[in-house]
Copies of this chain bind each other. A is one copy, B any other.
């Protein structure tokens, strides 16, 4: 039997290291020519499969594929597009099979978070539901660190490192000028439902002294009075106060501190602006000079400060996905299993996609301090190994030298246009 082609797609919010997983998939697939012919990559993830926009990764040089390991964002394009159920939108599944058949695709690797693993899970069922045999393996990825079963999700640790470094540096700035200038600094970070990223900022506050004095988690209802008291006490004690606020913090009415009212394709509210809102609250009640920053995509794209462990995880999981597939595993996702903390050690495990899809791993309650404003030692013990190690990209003319792929498409064979839902 001739080898099948493989489909690989990037899905959901991109990360500093999702391309390292792509490198892991493509480089490992190249080791099994008897089983995998070419890796065809969906332009913009599953959208590329539906619209038959497939990039031929075999035309990319070895050097360029290797350079994906130090290149942020989605080199092949990603998407926010979730397959509906078979009953709701059968046409999409029929179209996928049409494209897979036309391009002799027998493997499906999908690189994403909870929503994306749901897509991978649905595709894995095509064999049963639509009579099209396909080996389907998920590749975990999400800066939100909210995938279940796996110890952590690639992308998170680099964002964690970015926010810890950023609040460390900004707090040193504020500390050095607080006698005559800014007293309160507020930095907003991502994390819609889970406070993992906000928690990671707390890693800066070890013996270095400069880090967040207060962390506002999405898990904790915003208590304005307690917050203002803590800000005031901190400023009186040390002259300034650094605050990290998650975009997902809600007030007691259950409303995001700053809700723009816009929803994305997955139906999630589009957030941003919790930091200026917190600053308004501080200014109004305490009349202290404040500054604020909103990291937004900068944190999610900051490969220049990527965590070495994270890059290694991402690559290993992409590689493991291919190993699982060529060994006949279906409807699974490789995971990170922590085997030791000091020194940190890990190995690759395996989860069923059915157990991963649409399940959010929240932060354990014991990771947040009793007053709700900081992380506990247990949280620090979990987070610390993840941000260790640096893996700087090469530089040219003072800027990181990120790779730009050729992205040559394979010829379209179905002769049919397919319009995706907008």
A residues with a Cβ closer than 8 A to B are 10, 13-14, 44, 47, 71-81, 161, 164-166, 168-170, 172-177, 179-182, 185, 187, 203-204, 206, 208-210, 262, 264-265, 270, 272-273, 275-276, 289, 291-298, 300-305, 307, 384, 387-390, 392, 395, 397-400, 402, 404
Interchain CB contact (< 8 A) of A298 among B264, B289, B295: B295
What's the least CB distance linking A42 to chain B, in Å?
Answer: 11
What's the least CB distance linking A148 to chain B, in Å?
Answer: 24
Kindly state the separation between the CA atoms of A172 and B166 in the bound complex, as whole angstroms. Answer: 20
**Contacting pair B301 A172 (CB below 8 A):** yes
What's the least CB distance linking A144 to chain B, in Å?
Answer: 15
Identify which of A76, A209, A302 gathers the most chain B CB atoms within 10 Å of its CB.
A302
Task: Report chain B residues within 8 Å CB of A165.
Answer: 304, 399-400
Interchain CB contact (< 8 A) of A169 among B80, B164, B302: B302
Q: A169-B301, A173-B300 given as contacts; is B397 within 8 A of A180 (CB)?
A: no
Kindly state the separation between the CA atoms of A296 and B301 in the bound complex, as whole angstroms. Answer: 18
Q: A177-B14, A304-B305, A392-B392 given as contacts; is B204 within 8 A of A170 (CB)?
A: no
Kindly state the separation between the CA atoms of A294 and B384 in the bound complex, as whole angstroms. Answer: 27
What's the least CB distance linking A76 to chain B, in Å?
Answer: 8
Interchain CB contact (< 8 A) of A174 among B76, B297, B305, B399: B297
**Contacting pair A79 B166 (CB below 8 A):** no
Kindly state the separation between the CA atoms of A303 and B170 in the bound complex, as whole angstroms. Answer: 10
Task: Report chain B residues within 8 Å CB of A76.
Answer: 176
What's the least CB distance linking A403 to chain B, in Å?
Answer: 10
Interchain CB contact (< 8 A) of A180 among B47, B204, B273: B47
**Chain B residue nearest in CB terms to A400:** B165
What's the least CB distance linking A294 to chain B, in Å?
Answer: 5
What's the least CB distance linking A302 to chain B, in Å?
Answer: 6
Q: A73-B176, A182-B297, A291-B297 are in contact. List 17 more A-B contacts (CB 8 A).
A: A71-B172, A72-B172, A77-B179, A80-B180, A81-B180, A170-B296, A172-B301, A173-B301, A174-B297, A181-B264, A181-B265, A208-B402, A291-B296, A293-B293, A384-B398, A387-B398, A388-B397
Task: Report chain B residues within 8 Å CB of A170.
Answer: 296-298, 301
**Contacting pair B301 A292 (CB below 8 A):** no
Interchain CB contact (< 8 A) of A173 among B14, B276, B400: B14
**Chain B residue nearest in CB terms to A275:** B294
What's the least CB distance linking A308 to chain B, in Å?
Answer: 9
Kindly state the separation between the CA atoms of A291 and B47 in the bound complex, as whole angstroms. Answer: 22
Kindly state the separation between the CA atoms of A275 and B272 in the bound complex, as whole angstroms. Answer: 11
| Nearest 8 CB-CB pairings of A with B | A74-B176, A387-B398, A169-B301, A73-B172, A293-B296, A173-B301, A388-B398, A170-B297
**Contacting pair B402 A387 (CB below 8 A):** no
Kindly state the separation between the CA atoms of A81 and B179 in the bound complex, as whole angstroms. Answer: 10
**Contacting pair A262 B289 (CB below 8 A):** yes
Q: A177-B78, A177-B79, A296-B293 given as contacts; is B304 within 8 A of A206 (CB)?
A: no
What's the least CB distance linking A130 to chain B, in Å?
Answer: 24
Kindly state the separation between the CA atoms of A421 and B60 in the bound complex, as whole angstroms. Answer: 65
**Contacting pair B300 A78 (CB below 8 A):** no
**Contacting pair B289 A293 (CB below 8 A):** no
**Contacting pair A176 B77 (CB below 8 A):** yes
Task: Report chain B residues within 8 Å CB of A203.
Answer: 397-399
**Contacting pair A179 B44 (CB below 8 A):** yes
Task: Report chain B residues within 8 Å CB of A392.
Answer: 390, 392
What's the least CB distance linking A202 to chain B, in Å?
Answer: 12
Kindly state the separation between the CA atoms of A304 and B275 in the bound complex, as whole angstroms. Answer: 23
What's the least CB distance linking A4 to chain B, in Å?
Answer: 27
